[in-house]
Amino acid sequence: MHHSDTRRRRHRRGFLTAIGAAFLAVALTVGMAATAHADTLFSDDFSDGNSSGWTASGGSWSVTGDSARALRQGGTSSDARSLAGTSSWTDYSVQTTVRPTAFNGSNRFVALLARVQSSTSYYYLALRSNNTVELKRLTGGSATTLDTAALPVGTGTTYTVRLDVAGGSLKGYVNGALLAEATDTSYASGRIGVATFYASADFDDVRVDSGGAGPTPTPTNPTPSPTGDPGNPGTNVADGWASVDAWGQNGTTGGAGGPTVTVSTASQFVTEAASSGPKIIQVSGMIALPGPMHEVTSDKTIVGVGANSGFTGGGLNIGLPIDNAVTAPPANAVHNVIVRNLNFRNWADDAINVQMFSHHVWIDHNTWTTGADGGVDIKRGSSYVTVSYNHADGTDKNMLLGHDDGNAAQDTGRLKVTYHHNFFDNTNQRNPRVRFGDQVHVYNNYYLNTGNYGVASTENAGVVVEGNHFENVDDPYHLAEGSSGDGRLVARNNCLVNSGAGQTGGSVTNPPYAYTVGTACDMKAVVTAQAGVGRVGLPGNPTTPPPSTPAPTPTPTPTPTLPPAGDLVGWATQNGGTTGGAGGQTVTVSDGQALADALESSSPLVIRVTGSLTMPDKMNDVRSNKTVLGVGTATLDNGLNISGASNVIVRNLTFRGWDDDAINVQGSRNVWIDHNTFDGGYDGAVDVKRASDFVTVSWNRVTNHTKSMLLGHDDGHTADIGHLRVTYHHNWFDGSKERHPRVRFGDPVHVFNNYYYGADYGVASTMGAGVLVEGNHFENVTRPTAVGYAESDPGDLVQRNNIFTNSGAPESAGDVAPIPYPYRLDDASGVKAAVTAGAGAGRINP
């Protein structure tokens, strides 16, 4: 809905040159009801020193001989499992403690198994070394992911893992917190087990209880928040204000209990959304809605299928017609509505409008871009609303809370809304802008490049702003806005990176529901991995979801399907491989000069970098046989020059504000650049040139930048012919504009399984280069692949099995030499989710 809102500010934003501050988070709690225990079917703590009753396959299984006995799997070169119990067990809960001891790669796991049919068919809950927990089904050796969540996973840490199976309901817990759930009826009964995949681990205290009720007592008192993403409520559970019993409604369940229908046209959707009674409405594909707003009635779940469903042109109106004479919640107010997993684009009024005392509304895991007015506006007495895990992408007027300054009669004491784990991605204002609401809770969101302001509290509103990550936000939060009077705002434990200090005032009581605040400076990684469409299943768990548009069937490649040992893939595995400083001394540095000295050492070194370091030169030389490894949030403000060197690894570093290149590779060979973040600098992020060879650039993120990755010095440097063999895989080009890569002479160059978002062009092949571009996802890319660029002559380019979303037509020409190394090509349909969850610094455990 359209609203008047003067842009004049009563509190001017302060001028900001460079501010960096980080605050530790205060751990609050999630209150959970206690679980009743059932009969114990099986238990084994291995205190008898043997593994009688267990059947092992693969790996190296034994019972440890120390006082704290456990079942140990000691090998990391294959998958391994050990099974116990009987095939007649149906509904039960299985639990174990597991301590991973080694991962042979970046995407390995340890797991707990349930309803095991055979060594290749079962359900399992996996803790992965890429910091995720996954609930999966294995069928004949083929795995299907049922649900996933972010979770820090490291070696040497003990986790209590539990998997409940009851009928078709599957629930996975880690350390007592429900992190993954799904409905699946493939297996009704079966044994239990533990497993590893290219990992070693100790398993202990295995227990099976009947009835699917777990043996772990659920906490009822506050407990410290674990690092990572404890806030994700799982597949079907509304939290925050939407979970509070009030106004005759107990929590928010949407269309649960009603029929499931699937719509793929505007007329179908409009009819179903306005129908009476509970209903789960599955939206299949992008639907063009005529007119600005369309009514949604009570007891509805509206959910997108897959990652490419939603609405263009129109929005959703959740609420009765406007009536200023109504100043208390009417009996027929719209209530109990869930909106999840939908894309909203180019709406004519608001994307979602909640009005006229609508209550118990959950808006979760959606993505919206630009439209005429608000992304999510909530007003006119509406309450008990949660807005969570959404991605607001470039929206101007994002989230208004409260109609106008004269609407106190309807809004005072209401507008109780929770905003958590949302990604405010280059939004301009109203994130949210609050009038009258109290208590409004804004926690664990990530704000990036907010143009005008983040949160505004006005007209005596009461707003708690805690545990958020503000990056490049001049004005993160303030009192008053435009002609509106001051509200109250309490800010605590936020992470302010290159951002202003914010303004607070007054006091606000805490919201009455239980919740957990994650560490603020972790929210960038957590939220960018979890927010937006494509990250959840189907609420209501329909048993036969409709098929979404299938991705192109991959063309078989002549290369082997499995990667080599470890997680290094690509050209850097050739010419003897790339091991960096392995075998040399390990040193830890925490200032720029010490790092520069270590980089220039003639000896092999593993250099662990901690803290934010100022380098002595714009470009700092790196000699051969070095591993440069960031620890925690290690950040460099200038560049690394790998010149005339060999066997160099650079991993897990953030480069920010460099003055030349972030990484320059010239005249060098066998270089691996992996899991780094490049966040806004002067020239190239990773430039490879002057006859360099055998380079892999993998799992990096480039953001807030233009010139990303140049390959080849200039059109006249013909010495590059026969060199510049580089692999680029699983990189996230996040709004970077060009050179991903821009290639001269190199042949073959391999570009696979990368995610491109918002680029002017993706890959350019020039000057006779040969580039294979396969299995990538291009989204909002004007020219995904280019043959020839600027004044450079064309090269050859083969593109296959890519996905193009709202992007231009790809260009291709000629042939490319075969790729000589083994690699696994992931289906492009899963690349966006995998890369945004795994790319960049902070996603590996150094």
What are the backbone dihedrals phi and psi of residue 837, each rounded to the nearest 5 degrees, phi first?
-80, -25
Bridge partners (DSSP) listed for residue 462: 488
DSSP secondary structure letters along 197-248: ESEEEEEEEEEEEETT--SSPPP-S--PPPSS-TT---SS---GGGGS-BTT
Distance CA 331, CA 350 (A): 25
Annotated active-site residue 108? The verdict is no
Segment holding 269, helix H or strand E:
helix 266-273
CB atoms within 10 A of CB 575: 14
Distance CA 270, CA 313 (A): 14
Contact between residue 531 and residue 423 where contact means Cβ atoms under 8 Å apart: yes
Residue type, 641: N
Record the tokens describing residue 739, joined without a space.
């050179």
Q: Which of 767, 663, 764 is nearest to 705 (CA)?
A: 663
Distance CA 221, CA 671 (A): 51
* pLDDT score for 122: 95
Contact between residue 337 and residue 313 where contact means Cβ atoms under 8 Å apart: no
pLDDT in tens, 249-283: 999 999 988 999 999 999 999 999 999 999 999 99
3-state secondary structure 68-82: CCCEEECCCCCEEEE
Cα 454 to chain centroid distance, Å, stands at 21
CB atoms within 10 A of CB 126: 25
Looking only at the bridges linking them, the beta strands covering 142-150 and 677-679 are: unpaired
∠ CA 232-109-167 to the nearest 5 degrees?
A: 60
What Rg, from alpha-carbon coordinates, does the chain have? 27
* pLDDT score for 683: 86
Record the tokens describing residue 64, joined without a space.
């440890």
Distance CA 303, CA 260 (A): 11
Q: Taking the chain, what is the end-to-end CA distance rounded to the nearest angstrom?
A: 49
Cα 517 to chain centroid distance, Å, stands at 17
Distance CA 218, CA 160 (A): 12
| Token pair 């979602």 in the structure block, residue | 352
Distance CA 642, CA 632 (A): 23
CB atoms within 10 A of CB 404: 17
Q: Which residues of the chain have pLDDT under 50?
A: 1-37, 213-235, 538-566
Peptide bond into 554 cis (omega under 30): no
What are the backbone dihedrals phi and psi of residue 748, each rounded to the nearest 5 degrees, phi first?
-90, 140
Cα 739 to chain centroid distance, Å, stands at 25
Distance CA 446, CA 458 (A): 22
Record the tokens describing residue 371, joined without a space.
């439209």
* pLDDT score for 240: 95
Distance CA 340, CA 332 (A): 24
Q: Which distant-in-sequence residues (6+ apart) come within 8 Å of 609 by Cβ?
A: 588, 589, 590, 595, 628, 629, 630, 631, 634, 636, 653
pLDDT in tens, 635-676: 999 999 999 999 999 999 999 989 899 999 999 999 999 999
* pLDDT score for 125: 96
* pLDDT score for 67: 59
CB atoms within 10 A of CB 325: 5
Distance CA 242, CA 362 (A): 6
Residue in 739, 742, 783, 843 annotated catalytic:
739
Bridge partners (DSSP) listed for residue 744: 766
- Rounded to the nearest 10 degrees, the angle between the axes of helix 831-838 and helix 523-530 is 170
Distance CA 157, CA 153 (A): 8
Distance CA 281, CA 255 (A): 8
Number of H helices and E strands in the chain, helices first, is: 5, 70
Q: Which of 477, 475, 449, 476 is nearest to 463 (CA)?
A: 477
Distance CA 203, CA 136 (A): 20
Distance CA 622, CA 602 (A): 10
* pLDDT score for 3: 37
The count of C-alpha atoms lying within 13 angstroms of the C-alpha of 772, restricted to the half-sphere facing its C-beta, is: 23
Confidence (pTM): 0.45
Segment holding 764, helix H or strand E:
strand 761-766
pLDDT in tens, 196-218: 999 999 999 899 988 764 443 33
Looking only at the bridges linking them, the beta strands covering 310-312 and 286-288 are: parallel
Contact between residue 481 and residue 10 where contact means Cβ atoms under 8 Å apart: yes
Record the tokens describing residue 254, joined without a space.
């949407």
Q: Which distant-in-sequence residues (6+ apart) come within 8 Å of 777 by Cβ?
A: 754, 755, 756, 802, 803, 805, 828, 829, 831, 832, 835
* pLDDT score for 371: 83
Distance CA 777, CA 753 (A): 7
Distance CA 577, CA 803 (A): 31
What are the backbone dihedrals phi and psi of residue 652, each rounded to the nearest 5 degrees, phi first?
65, 35
Looking only at the bridges linking them, the beta strands covering 92-103 and 159-166 are: antiparallel
Residue 66 CA: distances (Å) to CA of 202, 203, 299: 12, 14, 57
Bridge partners (DSSP) listed for residue 508: none
